[in-house]
Chains A and B, each alone.
Chain A
């Protein structure tokens, strides 16, 4: 068996404790116990990414930036900053905008100084509420100019083009449903 030294530094506010895991002759690493599923990269891949899949994976795995979705259109940068600062120092926030109206359209990017802080956000802020809505975070390859705009035909996000439900915090009905309102009654015979 190879001798594997694992050195992990943990920062405990201002103090640090050096953790040294064992020679593998002493005890196993037990991958079963080191599950960290909230930090895993999701299946989503930005189709507009400029570069090959391998580069994209690399950037996602070392990214300090999170995409945040399902925001209310009315959620402000200040609110996002307050919430996401709970997992560490936030470097910048870019609020997603409707391409046409240039108003908030329900998503944003949060960039941290340290990846570890972004990981904590994935573990503890993802799936909790902001402005009474369950928000979703995902790794992002990194902000580039232009990515702050929605890619839906109407200018907002794609998901708001096609959804059928009524969401007052996201412009009401989906854009398609607004143009072609659903039929009043559906009788099944």
Chain B
């Protein structure tokens, strides 16, 4: 892999103007490089590197002070995993140059204000943490830091603000305490005690009533949940009990104590948290993803407990490393594995837990799914003797918990099972028991394909002894199906034990109704032969249409001269024959669809036509879900079918037996995404046209009155205005289609769920069948995955579908979604 130095050209941004003299640029680049790289692997000790760098920077202060200030502010914000390295550096600089220290603190405060104003809450946390660690480096006086914390915590007294706002300010304060708790308590214990008791009061006030409807799909009441803020509070309380003794964080400033304690400290200016703005986007609360504890790492260092502050710090830092290096997978893996203090913790377990935590995060992972697969592969390459085993262990654990995922929150050992949780803004906390199976399936199959599909399948033989609709066998089936897509059918047969044959996917072959003479009694048989020959002989569309005119319409009593109305047999014969001839590959099928696009569009002209088209696709390719998905995709893009038709088809009775299969949902989500992208594209075109018009008008105004210009520009304006009007209509039409799509989807869900509930009620049967739980999961998933779009249409949804008359089980899902206010 070529490792060329990153070029100076911005990707698509403004051109970088080089100064005439290159020296200053070189020095600035060098300063950046020196500062960014300090703390990395080196032949010298970290302390001597910091000492050396402080000397260099001090010497450069007269000429490059502003640049140095900016670089240090940037690393504070962008390299939180190296927090203490940089606070030490600032400490050393402050000891040598008091004014510089003061200017740095001021710059940080300005930066903090900007981040908060711009909704960059995660970065704001890093900045506040940096400031708090500067107390340890004798740059900032402890009392002034306490004062800032007091101002943050006072946000909990605000009324009529979203709970996520006060949550965040409390979180910031608590998350600094592992670094600075000890120092602050030594200097200001009374104030800190008051602060903590205020926080405690707030956390108690955060109401934790479980909505009763949740009992529908939880067998037992959950134990107290490890929600991120609760977890952190427990960790801080334990730290306090341990008298703030914290031994995990790397603190280079300790080595420089004699120098630093001579330095003069600065007071933080009084900092008032900015008020709540309606468009503020506070971070969504989350559940701390945990799957390992001290019992899981068999040998070597013990894993810090779930309520230890070490656990918090490790997880924070690992998340930060991924955030910093996500584009460079080899660097990312190396950085994760060279985590300081790694010899005292089971680092591989922490890494796997953090990575899976991101992969399974709701609503979406911080980064694209495939990043995690590849990152784990890089980690396996660097630690071939240990990491694969941890991964295997993790996979095994996730498999074991498949059964219990939707029924209880804890396994029989009393360990809280992984779950995802979302918090409502106002008063109630709602819990979503929802695990994104599909991400696990996709990860595992892709991972296996990089390791020759080696896996101890026999360990999972228990999945063969139960009903194949149960979670475990279903999981294995889906994994094998995805694995087959990355390889081929015989490979899958070869890699699993013979006992697993019942779970092996079908061979992905075309099922042709009119294959041979045994089909001669079928109404379309003769025509299929004629059509097939015509297509093979490159007949024109007109010739094909002529042939098709002969197809009788089973739906019609009298002859329709034009033969224009919906004719299922026509669709059947043409599509089956065409796709059969093109079955060889995706490309062949796409060519066929393109060549006969007009005919297909005509045949599928009505809603019934579209539905029947999809039905035929399924019939012929039902052993090849991948092909179905790509054909449906192509047909939407070429407007042979529309999104609503696809939704109706997926929910139709004909597809009921496939309803729990992963590919159905992948097609549905992909369809929704296409719809959304379509709307966004037109909206963008509209915005661009509006901008263009505005610019044009501005230019005209600025250039003054010129008779000639007026006429031309009026024409131009007129054209643009027409275009804008057209685009406006297009946007409205697209949004209408989008709204309709969601209406169709939710309507169908409601119908299906209602049927099930009624049936169970009349039969006095428990409603919580695997099918029902799966269906509710899927419904929740629609809400979660597309919450931004759905929120635009809440009014309509409430008026038309999610009314009070609805069965309360179904209504609960909707109400929870509203309560989430994502």
Contact = CB atoms under 8 A, between A and B. Distances in A.
Interface of A: 2, 4, 6, 12-20, 22, 24-40, 42-43, 76-79, 81-83, 86-87, 89, 92-95, 120, 123-125, 127-132
A33 B320 CA distance: 13
A26 B69 CA distance: 9
Instruction: Report the 6 A-B pairs with minimum CB-CB distance, sorted nearest first.
Output: A27-B74, A27-B73, A82-B485, A28-B70, A86-B370, A124-B374
Nearest to B120: A19
B586 A38 contact: no
B240 interface: no
Contact of A123 (B7, B17, B67, B371): B371
A37 B374 contact: no
A179 B432 CA distance: 66
B369 interface: yes
A33 B81 CA distance: 13
Contacts of A125: 370, 374
A4 B14 contact: yes
B683 interface: no
Interface stretch (B175-183, B783-791, B793-801): B783-791
A120 B327 CA distance: 9
A2 B70 CA distance: 14
Given A32-B33, A81-B630, A95-B587, A128 B377 contact: yes
B189 interface: no
Contact of B1 (A17, A22, A37, A87): A37
Given A27-B77, A76-B488, A86-B370, A37 B36 contact: no
Contacts, number: 157
B785 A14 contact: yes
B789 A14 contact: yes
27 contacts: A4-B13, A6-B13, A13-B786, A14-B676, A17-B119, A22-B111, A22-B114, A26-B114, A27-B70, A27-B71, A30-B32, A30-B71, A30-B74, A37-B1, A38-B327, A77-B585, A78-B485, A78-B626, A81-B630, A82-B482, A86-B369, A86-B446, A87-B368, A92-B587, A120-B370, A127-B1, A128-B377
A152 B788 CA distance: 52
B638 interface: no
B111 A38 contact: no
B36 A33 contact: yes
B736 interface: no
A36 B585 CA distance: 35
B364 A30 contact: no
Contact of B329 (A13, A14, A124): A124
B425 interface: no
B775 to A, nearest CB: 21
Contacts of B370: 86-87, 120, 124-125
A12 B788 CA distance: 10
Given A14-B789, A24-B70, A31-B29, 8 more contacts: A6-B13, A15-B363, A15-B787, A32-B37, A40-B4, A40-B7, A130-B449, A132-B452
B551 interface: no
A20 B118 contact: yes
Given A26-B114, A31-B6, A77-B586, A14 B788 contact: yes
Nearest to A31: B6
Contact of B327 (A31, A36, A76): A36
Interface of B: 1-4, 6-8, 13-14, 17, 29, 32-33, 36-37, 67, 70-71, 73-75, 77-79, 107, 110-111, 114, 118-120, 281, 324, 327-329, 331, 363-364, 368-371, 373-374, 377, 442, 446, 449-450, 452, 482, 485-488, 585-587, 590, 626-627, 630, 633, 673, 676, 785-789
Nearest to A116: B368
B429 to A, nearest CB: 21
B403 to A, nearest CB: 28
Nearest to A4: B14
A78 B586 contact: yes
A188 B130 CA distance: 66
Contacts of B13: 4, 6
Contacts of B486: 79, 82-83, 130
Nearest to A123: B327
B73 A35 contact: no
B128 to A, nearest CB: 16
Contacts of B78: 30, 33
Contacts of A43: 2
A20 to B, nearest CB: 5
Given A27-B73, A37-B4, A129 B449 contact: yes
Contacts of B328: 35-38
Contacts of A130: 449, 486
Given A14-B788, A14-B789, A28 B74 contact: yes
Nearest to A132: B452
Nearest to A37: B3
A6 B74 CA distance: 15
B246 to A, nearest CB: 28
B73 to A, nearest CB: 4
A130 B13 CA distance: 35
A127 B377 CA distance: 11
Contacts of B114: 22, 26
Contacts of A79: 485-488
A78 B585 contact: yes
B228 to A, nearest CB: 19
A27 to B, nearest CB: 4
Contacts of B482: 82
A38 B331 CA distance: 11
B75 to A, nearest CB: 7
A132 B17 CA distance: 47
Contacts of A17: 119, 281
Nearest to B508: A78
B487 A131 contact: yes
B374 A128 contact: yes
Given A22-B111, A26-B107, A76 B371 contact: no
Nearest to B442: A86
Given A35-B6, A76-B585, A123-B329, A26 B364 contact: no
A75 to B, nearest CB: 9
Contacts of B281: 17
Contacts of B71: 27-28, 30
B485 A40 contact: no
Contacts of A14: 673, 676, 785-789
Contacts of A19: 120
A20 B281 CA distance: 14
Residue among A15, A124, A125 having the largest count of chain B Cβ atoms under 10 Å:
A124
A47 B673 CA distance: 39
Contacts of B36: 30, 32-33
A16 to B, nearest CB: 8
Contacts of A76: 488, 585
A63 to B, nearest CB: 13
Contacts of B1: 37-38, 127
A160 B789 CA distance: 51
A123 B325 CA distance: 12
A76 to B, nearest CB: 7
B2 A37 contact: yes
Contacts of A27: 70-71, 73-74, 77, 111
A29 B452 CA distance: 43
A43 B2 CA distance: 9
Nearest to B71: A28
A125 B374 CA distance: 7
A32 B33 CA distance: 6
Contact of B587 (A39, A82, A93, A131): A93
Contacts of A28: 32, 67, 70-71, 73-74
Nearest to B666: A85
Contacts of A93: 586-587
A127 B328 CA distance: 13
A132 B454 CA distance: 12
Nearest to A43: B2
A15 B74 contact: no
A17 B373 CA distance: 24
